[in-house]
Structure 1
Amino acid sequence: MRVAIAGAGAVGRSIASELVEAGHTVMLIERQSRQFVPETVPEADWVLGDACEMSTLEDSGIQLCDVVIAATGDDKVNLVVSLLAKTEFAVRRVVARVNNPANEWLFTESWGVDVAVSTPRILAAMVEEAVSVGDLVRLMTFRQGQANLVELTLPADTPVAGKPVRELALPRDVALVTILRGERVIVPQPDDPLEPGDELLFVTSAGTEPDIRRALGVNGQSMP
């Protein structure tokens, strides 16, 4: 996969390093010379230029990228990069960093954003996930809120203990994708039994959380 990252600050470089390590082809675009330091991620292609300029994007070959990540520290820049990547260069997947939570409402498909990543929201979700047992925690939102990644840790008194996955009356638009059990990551099979303490990860459509709770026999407040 070929990935372009706008912004070679600490965040952009960290993302680039992770993607390179995973075997992807990465290009970093940076307009500030003080942050243009190719030796920090030597495996990546580096472009010195303004990612908000059409000429920079075209010359860099961004139209050949599968994914563009707008990772600068300026929300206005990230929105412009996202819009240009999607509308002018038809990039299939655009991910944008949200620096100020108050601007999160702008990061939608209207601005070319497929996935908006808000650090405060993710941190809050991780805290909830670490302390919540017996209720759903929304970890991430996809497709502008149309789908969610949610987690639930089964309590000690769960009524579904010992039941196989196939007996869960899950809604049609819900997929149980992973069971985390101790150090194991389990791809659930129909006959796999559930155990207290299992962390269940679901991909769901919006509004199905109450149905998941009913299927698992747990109570809790609806997520916003």
Structure 2
Amino acid sequence: MRVVIAGAGIVGRSIARELLANSHRVLLVDRSPAAMKISSVPDAQWLLADACEISSLDEAELTDCDVVVAATGDDKANLVVSLLAKTEYGVPRTVARVNNPKNEWLFDEAWGVDVAVSTPRLMTALVEEAVSVGELVRLFTFQQSSTSMAEYTLDPASPVVGRTVGGLPLPADAVLVAIVRGDRPIAPTPDDVLEAGDHLMFLSVPDAEAELRSLLGAP
């Protein structure tokens, strides 16, 4: 499968590595010379160009492309890339990154988007599908490292309920990356007070999980 990725930032390069590891062909496109970190993904093809321009997409040979991934940090650019890929080149599959959840309603077939990837929505879906209250659940492990994402739903009896995020003595190798409260993802700050029913999303190494379970009161 040949995949063209618009946006060679951290997200675009990470996607490229995973696809290359699965034996796909990848072209990274970015208009910024600073993004041309070719040595970071040496097996990919690279193109310094503006993916919102028809001439650039011609050069990227989108007519010979199976999937276009719009992974820039600009929602407007991701919409334009998706629309051009679908309407001008007939690309079978387009995947677009949603940076601002408020723009998510735009990312549909009208803009040529087959799949919209929104981090807050993805995290909420993982919580709804895989979580048991009072248990630390490992959702997935990053293939490039031993770091895992785990989720814990706060039981009313948890010793951390009512405490602030800043007051949690987290293990050295564990990071609280998000709180999902109801249907709303929250970027945690030191002053946020934890409530029963909160879904806590952690990044941690396996050795830190036992200490994390003890802190949260998990079995």
Report TM bin, short chain. Answer: 0.5 to 0.7
**In the alignment, residue 62 of structure 1 is paired with which amino acid?**
L
Deviations 1:46-102 (A, max 9, x none): 000000000000011111100000000100000000000000011010010011111
Deviations 1:172-202 (A, max 9, x none): xxxxxxxxxxxxxxxxxxxxxxxxxxxxxxx
Match of 2:161 in 1: none
Question: Aligned partners of 1:132 and 1:84: how far apart in 2?
Answer: 43
The Cα of 1:37 is off from its aligned counterpart by 1.1
Deviations 1:91-114 (A, max 9, x none): 010010011111010001100000
- Determine what percentage of the aligned residue pairs are the same residue: 65
Question: Aligned partners of 2:131 and 2:113: how far apart in 1?
Answer: 31
Question: Aligned partners of 2:43 and 2:131: how far apart in 1?
Answer: 39
1:12-91 paired onto structure 2 within 5 Å: 12-91=12-91
1:72-221 paired onto structure 2 within 5 Å: 72-132=72-132
The Cα of 1:128 is off from its aligned counterpart by 2.5
**In the alignment, residue 69 of structure 2 is paired with which amino acid?**
I
Match of 1:4 in 2: 4
The Cα of 1:132 is off from its aligned counterpart by 4.3
Question: Aligned partners of 2:124 and 2:132: how far apart in 1?
Answer: 12
TM-score, normalization: structure 1?
0.58
| 5+ long unaligned stretches in structure 1 | 134-224
- SS across alignment from 1:73: coil
The Cα of 1:124 is off from its aligned counterpart by 1.3
Match of 1:148 in 2: none
Deviations 1:115-136 (A, max 9, x none): 1111110011222333248xxx
**In the alignment, residue 34 of structure 1 is paired with which amino acid?**
A
Deviations 1:134-190 (A, max 9, x none): xxxxxxxxxxxxxxxxxxxxxxxxxxxxxxxxxxxxxxxxxxxxxxxxxxxxxxxxx
Question: Aligned partners of 2:15 and 2:123: how far apart in 1?
Answer: 17
TM-score, normalization: structure 2?
0.59
Question: Aligned partners of 1:108 and 1:60: how far apart in 2?
Answer: 24
Question: Aligned partners of 2:22 and 2:93: how far apart in 1?
Answer: 18
The Cα of 1:29 is off from its aligned counterpart by 0.2
How many residue pairs match? The answer is: 133
**In the alignment, residue 125 of structure 1 is paired with which amino acid?**
A
| 5+ long unaligned stretches in structure 2 | 134-219
Question: Aligned partners of 1:8 and 1:108: how far apart in 2?
Answer: 23
Give runs of ≥4 in structure 1 deviating > 3 Å: none
